[in-house]
Amino acid sequence: MHRRWIALAVALTLGGMTHAHDAPKTSSAPAATPASDDPNLWLDDIDGAKQLDWVKARNADTVGKYASGPEFSTLQSRLLEVLDSDAKIPMVNKVGDHFYNVWRDKQHPKGLWRRTTLAEYRKDKPAWETVVDIDALAASEKENWVWHGAQCLKPDYRRCLVSLSRGGADADVVREFDLVTKTFIADGFTLPEAKSQVAWIDEDHIYVATDFGPGSMTTSSYPRIVKEWKRGTPLASATTVYEGKPTDMSISAFRDRTPGFERDFVQRALEFYNSETYVRGKDGKLTRIDVPNDATTDVQREWLLIEPRTAWTVNGKTYASGSLLAAKFDDFMAGKRDIAVLFEPDAHSSLAGYSWTRHHLLVNVMRDVVSSIEVLTPEANGPWKRETLGGAPALSTVQAGGIDADDTDEYFLTVSGFLQPTTLYYGTLGQGKQEALKHSPAFFDASKYAVSQHFVTSKDGTRVPYFEIAPKSMKADGNNPTLVYGYGGFEISLQPAYSGSVGRAWLDKGGVYVIANIRGGGEYGPRWHQAALKANRPRAYEDFAAVSQDLIDRKITTPKHMGMMGGSNGGLLAGNMLTKYPQLYGAVVSQVALLDMKRYTHMSAGASWMAEYGDPDKADEWAYIQTFSPYQNVKAGTKYPPVLFTTSTRDDRVGPVHARKMAAEMQSMGFDASLYENIEGGHGAAADNKQAAFMSALAYTYLWDHLK
């Protein structure tokens, strides 16, 4: 229910494209070919001994070719230095009277969960108190624990529900923890490994959605049932609060414990962008918040915020897709529809996020992918007061978030750019200018480079932006090794952000780095995302192709010097660029990717993404999905650029099977296709900084070897 800020992940995504097929929308198209016709189906056994032996053989081959020389070792060390740096900003969140941080460095590769006071945090070198040493815990329990977070019970914040993952998988173990004694509670709330969702009700009760046994999980591999569990009783005795359908995506519940505004909510996610939220009364009765299923809602104190993803008409007035609306919660639930428009997008602007302080709302607005912050204040009678917090420097990203919406108008603000290391500011609304608290170190000499923003016209006439980071001395002669990165899915925006790894691994070698803000993302709000859904997915790939061609037309690079890289949905983008636009690239890297779109709904959490891609088990939808399914579109005799597929055995979101099968299929046809599968790491493909540095060094080394 609560709006989540979307963090930029500039390390993992750079995509590819498909040919611009106008997919036939007819039910007469053949259904997906039976899985038995797939010669690589045997690789579906993720942990099988034969399969892992096959993986290890491919890993050894890839390491031997690209990760065994002194140049690779040097790059890996330089990237690990960035990740392990003691000078990086320790980002914090407030829990009670302390500020908490998860810190990883050379001495603590798995991390420390630690805390300090605001007075200490304001110092250059704060004194930290260790709460959980994750490395020590993993060693004592002989488990490869990866920290997945903690939920602490307010207002005293003594009891926490801590989530720990084995090797970085989405599934985790939940244990109750005491913040005063800094120990796990032996007889406390404990859940075995599963994709669980838990939330405090009070000290003796929690909401729990987990794997309760056969039939309790959805086809998307998430909980179908949420229950109320009382302390000291077996999980089997927990009482059912809500039970969804097997085809739902997930079910969860939580209590808003804001003093004076305590409320319980149940959420039914039918699919991405399609959910129902209910208020749970003291008698257990559920009352639905009456907004469209594709709208996002957030309740804070007396206010209900609504983000419609499609135009919404109420009482004769239409509210635009991508707008931010406000209403008094109790009045809305009583049937009144007095709605205030807090933000309305235009052709160039979109809502990037928002965050509450005690008396104000911080709204992050993007205009052509560059951000600014507005401060909105509800007035007793009349429109909300609107002020500007301060714009970002040119071509940069600003994000602001309230520190404790229950008690204070304090906020943290970060400013970052491609060549500008992140600065963290602290301020209090209404009390003057914020102060700079922390500065991220510079990991490369930014003075040698320039950032520019360009716009290109895609195949259907749509104007698409992209950012270019290049040496100031660059000559437009077509000889510059150029790496193009994109994502184009799930309404995720790629904004300017500093990356020491990109600087060291690519820019310092003389390369040009490009981020393409293609459709499918959220750079221009829901409309930008919806323009590339399902049958329109090829629009994202056309956009990426247009950006790539523009780099050629501007003589920045040529196909033999241009590569692209993408992860997850961006890995699907990469797979399509490989199979549909092979003439544009000299090398491709596809990370933790979806690639077999015929069977993706039957692998890991794939069924949860049908709202994005469609259902391949329906003949009319497979008719268009097959046009952007890389695994089915590999053709013998085609000239493909060299490609590296990277994945993780412990990725239980997308799963390693996609990459395994794609590599196997291409290798069987004699193509230059490499595979590296990290045995640990989850969907991030790395369980610690050392693994992350290796995976990044492998990708950048592979690309540089082919594009230099």
Report residue 43: phi and psi, to 5°: -75, -5
What is the per-residue pLDDT for 35? Answer: 52
- CB within 8 A of 157, min separation 6: which ones? 95, 96, 179
**Distance of alpha carbon 516 from alpha carbon 465, whole angstroms:** 7
Average pLDDT, the chain: 93
What is the per-residue pLDDT for 546? Answer: 98
Question: Does the pLDDT at position 13 exceed 70?
Answer: no
- CB within 8 A of 607, min separation 6: which ones? 218, 219, 220, 221, 249, 601
What is the per-residue pLDDT for 391? Answer: 54
**CATH number of the domain residue 647 falls in:** 3.40.50.1820
Which pLDDT band, with edges at 50, 70 and 90, does 3 fall under?
A: very low
What is the per-residue pLDDT for 543? Answer: 98
What is the per-residue pLDDT for 396? Answer: 85
Q: What is the pTM of this model?
A: 0.91
What is the per-residue pLDDT for 30? Answer: 32
Tens of pLDDT, residues 184-196: 999 999 999 999 9
Tens of pLDDT, residues 352-402: 999 999 999 999 999 999 999 999 999 887 899 999 986 557 778 999 999
Q: Considering 360, 529, 658, 683, which one is annotated as catalytic?
A: 683
Q: Is residue 653 in a domain? A: yes
Q: Are 532 and 539 in contact (CB under 8 A)?
A: yes
Tens of pLDDT, residues 395-426: 789 999 999 999 999 999 999 999 999 999 99
- Cβ-in-10-Å burial (0-12, 13-18, 19+) of 461 comes to exposed
Q: Is residue 194 in a domain? A: no
What is the per-residue pLDDT for 252? Answer: 98
Q: Is residue 111 in a domain? A: no
What is the per-residue pLDDT for 433? Answer: 87
What is the per-residue pLDDT for 392? Answer: 58
Question: Does the pLDDT at position 505 exceed 90?
Answer: yes
Q: Considering 196, 416, 548, 568, which one is annotated as catalytic?
A: 568
Tens of pLDDT, residues 16-55: 222 222 322 223 233 344 456 899 999 999 999 999 999 9
What is the per-residue pLDDT for 382? Answer: 80
**Distance of alpha carbon 337 from alpha carbon 339, whole angstroms:** 6
Structure tokens, 68: 């065994």
What is the per-residue pLDDT for 37? Answer: 85
Q: Is residue 382 in a domain? A: no
Quick one: average pLDDT of 432-458? 96
Catalytic annotation on 568? yes
**Distance of alpha carbon 289 from alpha carbon 267, whole angstroms:** 10
Question: Does the pLDDT at position 14 exceed 80?
Answer: no
**Distance of alpha carbon 642 from alpha carbon 703, whole angstroms:** 9
Return the half-sphere exposure (C-beta side, CA atoms, 13 A cut-off) of residue 143: 14
Which pLDDT band, with edges at 50, 70 and 90, does 680 fall under?
A: confident
Which pLDDT band, with edges at 50, 70 and 90, does 662 fall under?
A: very high
Domain count for the chain: 1
What is the per-residue pLDDT for 1? Answer: 32
Structure tokens, 2: 């609560």
Q: Is residue 529 in a domain? A: yes
Q: Where are the alpha helices (DSSP H) in 47-204?
A: 49-66, 70-84, 118-121, 134-141
What is the per-residue pLDDT for 36? Answer: 62
Tell me what percent of the residues of the chain surpass a pLDDT of 90: 91
Catalytic annotation on 98? no
Q: Helix 657-668 to helix 49-66 angle, to the nearest 10 degrees?
A: 70
Q: Where are the alpha helices (DSSP H) in 603-688?
A: 610-613, 619-625, 630-633, 657-668
What is the per-residue pLDDT for 436? Answer: 94
In total, the chain counts a number of residues equal to 708
Question: Does the pLDDT at position 172 exceed 80?
Answer: yes
Least confident of 21-25, 271-275, 689-693: 21-25
Quick one: average pLDDT of 514-533? 98
Q: Is residue 683 in a domain? A: yes
What is the per-residue pLDDT for 349? Answer: 97
Determine the structural domain holding residue 74 and report its residue range: 58-80+444-707
Question: Does the pLDDT at position 8 exceed 70?
Answer: no
Tens of pLDDT, residues 538-574: 999 999 999 999 999 999 999 999 999 999 999 999 9
Q: Is residue 267 in a domain? A: no
Structure tokens, 432: 């003057």
Q: Are 410 and 428 in contact (CB under 8 A)?
A: yes
